Structure 1
Amino acid sequence: MAALCAIIFDLDDTLVDQAGAARRAVVGWAAEHGISGVDVAHRWEAVSDRHYRRYQSRELGFQEQRRERAREFLGVEVTDVDADALFAGYLTRYEAQWVAFDDAVPTLRRVRDAGLRTVVLTNGDDDHQRLKLDLTGLAAEVDLLVSTSTLPASKPDPRSYLLTCERAGIAPGEALMVGNSLAHDVLGPLEAGLDAVLLDRDDAHPEAAARRISTLHDLSW
């Protein structure tokens, strides 16, 4: 078995509380546009997931998916310029809510102390994800960021993991992938020849046939 050289982390909802930031941000933004109710956050999540998947599959560009999310959620037919302006109201609130999980920095430092590289592989726009690392204080803890906007395919396409390993200068068997998505961060990496651990903070996958932890503090290799 090859010696472990790097641990590859997912970013959103693994190192950064992306879902929490989105929930907190959308409530005030929606209220500004006369939308309220207990289901606001859930509706925004559903709309966002649908159009972000279209972006991940290369059906839409990054800015286009933002426009479509704003149009559908607010129920308006507006120009691209107006859609951009509408989404900006949400984006300002969203970025202000970004925060790293308490176990993120200690774990990244523990990985480095063990002589391993810290790599992040994220399905997203490179500029956007680099800003996220900067604003959450994680940039200094990460050796390499690979955003799938810089790759020909997103997770769980095997090419995303293999090309990440190539950029890190390691073989797939020398990497361990850690993330909160069973499909993107466990099944996909395993198919590509990497080892993988599922971060299941809310016990959503009790029957998963995979190594599973509830906190990054429990990560071992």
Structure 2
Amino acid sequence: MPEVISFDMDGTLVSPKYVDRVWMEGIPELYAKRHGVELDNAKEIVIGEYLKIGSDRLEWYDLGYWLEKFDLKIDKYELLEMYRSEIEVYPEVEEVLDSLRDAGYELVVTSNAAREFIEMELDGLMDRFSRVFSVTSDFRDVKKSPRSYILVCRALGRKPLEVLHIGDHYVYDYEAPIEAGLDALFLDRMGNRSGPEVVVDLREAADRILNGM
């Protein structure tokens, strides 16, 4: 049975709304003002540059890189703060984290997001977690891979079978940890997939864990 529960962040603990606002609205709006172009044109330019880099390069996740590339005269933390009100923690999260922690499980976060996003989005939840891992910031991996999960286990001083990961991406949050030797549950809030590995919210995941899977 697992002793550590690892959680993905965006789409698992918090809605992706905040991240989308920063990348898809915040940066284009700043670009439009800085370079004197219409917002629609700015969005087209910014998204086009995102796609040129692609999600298989670390720059994709590096907010500071994009602010410098687009010559936007703003600190990345100031930009993140501008959209703090858009952070939405899923309604069952605090209850679930508290119930698992009260049951003696160690709780950690394993996210693809850069550390500055994690610190902002989980600001009110940080005291529930013993460790927080950003695979891009900490391990220089562009995606959560089996290697990422092995490094998490090493950092925790745990064997893979002592860790269970929960997240909403089937490849990076289910197949990758399974390949690394962890246990895992796939969170499908939309109810599109079925199977013994699937849960529809974190309350169901906690019930499964607390009742011995």
Q: Name the counterpart of 1:16.
A: 14
Q: Does 1:112 align with 2:101?
A: yes
Q: How many residues align?
A: 198
Q: Label 1:189 to 1:29 Cα distance change in 2 as closer, same or farther (>3 A).
A: closer
The DSSP-based 3-state class of the residue aligned with 2:186 is strand
Q: Name the counterpart of 2:35.
A: none
What one-letter code is carried by the residue in structure 2 that aligns with 1:35?
L
Q: Does 1:129 align with 2:118?
A: yes
Measured on the aligned residues, the alpha-carbon RMSD in Å equals: 3.4
CA contact (8 A) 2:165 2:184 kept: yes
Within 5 Å, give how 1:176-191 maps onto structure 2: 176-191=164-179
Q: Which runs of 5+ in 1 are unaligned?
A: 68-78
Q: Does 1:213 align with 2:199?
A: yes
| Higher mean C-alpha displacement, 87-96 vs 173-182 | 87-96
Q: Name the counterpart of 1:58.
A: 58
Q: Does 1:195 align with 2:183?
A: yes
1:30-68 Cα shifts (integer Å, max 9, x gaps): 5784436xxx8xx988976875614xx43667146534x
Give the distance between the partners of 1:213 and 1:24, measured in 2 at CA: 27
The DSSP-based 3-state class of the residue aligned with 1:53 is coil
TM normalised by structure 2 equals 0.75
Give the distance between the partners of 2:171 and 2:52, measured in 1 at CA: 16
Q: Label 1:8 to 1:61 Cα distance change in 2 as closer, same or farther (>3 A).
A: closer
The DSSP-based 3-state class of the residue aligned with 2:39 is coil
CA contact (8 A) 2:5 2:108 kept: yes
Q: Name the counterpart of 1:158.
A: 146
TM normalised by structure 1 equals 0.73
Give the distance between the partners of 1:90 and 1:184, measured in 2 at CA: 28
Q: CA deviation at 1:123?
A: 1.1
Identity of paired residues, percent? 26
Q: Label 1:97 to 1:157 Cα distance change in 2 as closer, same or farther (>3 A).
A: same
Give the distance between the partners of 1:46 and 1:199, measured in 2 at CA: 31
Q: CA deviation at 1:183?
A: 0.8
Give the distance between the partners of 2:190 and 2:79, measured in 1 at CA: 26
Q: Label 1:163 to 1:176 Cα distance change in 2 as closer, same or farther (>3 A).
A: same
CA contact (8 A) 1:51 1:65 kept: no
Q: CA deviation at 1:28?
A: 7.5
Q: Name the counterpart of 1:147.
A: 134
Give the distance between the partners of 2:170 and 2:100, measured in 1 at CA: 22
Give the distance between the partners of 1:198 and 1:122, measured in 2 at CA: 14
Within 5 Å, give how 1:2-81 maps onto structure 2: 3-17=1-15, 19-23=16-20, 26=24, 33=32, 34-35=38-39, 51=53, 53-54=55-56, 57-58=57-58, 62-63=62-63, 66-67=66-67, 80=69
What one-letter code is carried by the residue in structure 1 that aligns with 2:9?
L
Give the distance between the partners of 2:12 and 2:51, measured in 1 at CA: 17
CA contact (8 A) 2:17 2:88 kept: no
Q: Label 1:84 to 1:187 Cα distance change in 2 as closer, same or farther (>3 A).
A: farther
Give the distance between the partners of 1:159 and 1:31, measured in 2 at CA: 37
Q: CA deviation at 1:153?
A: 2.5
